[in-house]
Chains A and B, each alone.
Chain A
Amino acid sequence: MSTDVKTATPNTLESTERHAPDGIKLPIYMDNHATTPMDPRVLEEMLPYFMEKFGNAASRNHPFGWVAEEAVELSRERIAKLIGATAKEIIFTSGATESDNLAIKGVAEMYREKGNHIITAVTEHKAVLDTCKHLEKIGFRVTYLPVQKDGLVDLDDLKRAIDDKTILVTMMAANNEIGVLQPLAEIGKICRERGVIFHSDAVQAIGKVPVDVNKMNVDLASITGHKLYGPKGVGALYVRRKNPRVQLVPIIDGGGHERGMRSGTLNVPGIVGLGKACAIATEEMATESCKLAGLRNRLRDSIMSRLDEVYINGSMEHRLPGNLNISFAYVEGESLLMGINDIAVSSGSACTSATLEPSYVLKALGTGDDLAHSSIRFGIGRFNTQAEVDYVADRVVDTVQRLRELSPLYEMAKEGIDLKTVKWAGEAH
């Protein structure tokens, strides 16, 4: 699933003039919300399914097909186990964007007799927002709930927004930019009480924090392989089968695979990889999230103890363990990325986006455009080390200090000028 903050990569992967300290290999990858490197254990399990076990899982009458089908069913069970579902409730897709489209459009078309109202939040991923916008064009009504300063939706807003025409609430589990965790259990409870189907784009959360579809009353959940150390191009949609049974109109018609909800020959190696990635997460999530939160807090403390006017975007309490999104006042994000070009991270700066608009997620929190331009997203993952975190903190602090010496805004602020009162020549644009 693509993210809306673009990644700055070093100009070449090999060339960095900087001398790497012992135990560190440059460049450092710390952009694990964009994608994660594959776990070698996942690759190992996938490899046989490219060559010797190449069968089509839908081939019912020979062993090639049976072997593939058996692998697919094992994956279904492994994914289901991670989220407290049953294997029959897992539908394979090409990734989270497709899962989001299938869930939202599938519900809209199936339940249009019942109502035409959908509720979501302004900080959702574009795969959800643009799907909702499409539905608005064909007669659906969509409420985009605002978020509070910490990035969380107000549950009273949600309760007020639900009316007798509401058929679906779609709310992400964890935000891809700021890592903020929405209160899924509370949202699920409200939806269940009001008889509204609840979909969650859970790609950033699954495998990182506990997600239990029954405890949280989630009816549909989007999953993708490449955010949890699995392969790209494969995902899944959890579709509740009872209490209540959720039905979807497919968006891809064909041979009737996946109980008619998603036709197309299954990507067996990808599915095997996704299943293995979920099995690893089931085993290791508790210890891993503890380690990641420790590294993340170490990075935060190391940076914030040495720099003034650094602001954390979004709730620190309700947050993915590996996420840190901070704004460095008076320093523009892309220039900061350029200065730390041996480290792969992302910025909410307009200069790094195709639209030349700063991050809509940060704007939704009430972060000013100036601080949105100054934001960096760090995504710490399974393969990052403490030595890397320390190196990243040092490089960030050095570069911010250097760029602030170069910044007219920093100079003005130090002179005691309130930048909000300055009449900027460029404001007319």
Chain B
Amino acid sequence: MAYSDKVIDHYNNPRNVGSLDKASADVGTGLVGAPECGDVMKLQIKVNPDTNVIEDAKFKTFGCGSAIASSSLATEWVKGKTVDEALAIKNTEIVKELALPPVKIHCSVLAEDAIRAAIGDWKKKQAAAKPVAAEAK
């Protein structure tokens, strides 16, 4: 199977590999996929509570080269965006950027799912934190 140069670059030099503190209120964690299916992505974001801008993003991926590249690219793209802007990222843009062949489109779908799951987790934490903040007044 021939990989595009961009996939090879992300595979050889993955961006933003690592983990953020998943217990932190500012951090959202998305864990998508399943080992039985051959792909698991963990994508984490750290959001500025005042501006809703994603200040940091990290990933770890179990999967093929295209899955690694899709999640690596996703962390690059969400960084510096607001949460709403990040939610607008479409898997088709990832497909285009990495020139993924049809059999690898599911990798881009999983990366989009990972972004949504991370943001969803962060929003859940925000919602849970609010009543506590109100009570403190």
Task: Identify the A interface with B (CB < 8 A).
Answer: 8, 11, 330-332, 334-335, 338-339, 349-352, 356, 358, 368-370, 373, 405-411, 419, 424-427, 429
Q: How far is the CB of B104 from chain A (nearest CB, A)?
A: 8
Q: Which residues in B have their C-beta under 8 angstroms from that of A338?
A: 3, 8, 11, 64-65
Looking at the assembled complex, report how far the CB atom of A175 sits from the nearest CB atom of chain B, in whole angstroms.
22
Does any Cβ of A come within 8 Å of B14's Cβ? yes
| 9 additional contacts (CB under 8 A) given A332-B39, A369-B36, A410-B62 | A332-B63, A335-B64, A335-B68, A338-B11, A368-B36, A406-B14, A406-B17, A408-B40, A426-B37
Stretch of B26-34, B79-87, B91-99 with 4 or more beta carbons under 8 angstroms from chain A: B26-34
The CA-CA distance from A108 to B106 in the complex, in Å, is 43
Are B40's CB and A424's CB within 8 A?
yes
- Assess whether A11 is in contact with B39, with CB atoms less than 8 Å apart: no
Contacts of A351 in B (CB 8 A): 38, 63-64
Would A407 and B34 count as touching, CB distance under 8 A?
no
Contacts of A368 in B (CB 8 A): 36
The total of chain B residues at the interface (CB under 8 A) is 32
Chain B residues near A (Cβ < 8 Å): 1-3, 8, 11, 14, 17, 19, 31-42, 60-65, 67-68, 103, 110, 113, 117
CA A429 to CA B39, docked complex, whole Å: 12
Q: B60 contacts A356, CB within 8 Å?
A: no
Sample 6 A-B pairs with CB under 8 A, ordered by A number: A350-B38, A369-B38, A373-B38, A408-B61, A419-B35, A425-B117
User: CB-CB < 8 A to B67: which residues of A?
Assistant: 332, 335
B36 surroundings in chain A (CB, below 8 A):
368-370, 373, 424, 427
Q: Check A411/B60 contact, CB under 8 A, given A338-B11, A369-B36.
A: yes
Interchain CA distance A42-B14 in the complex, whole Å: 46
In the bound complex, do residue B64 and residue A424 qualify as a contact, i.e. CB atoms below 8 Å apart?
A: no
Q: Please tell me if the beta carbons of A349 and B34 are within 8 angstroms of each other in the complex.
A: no
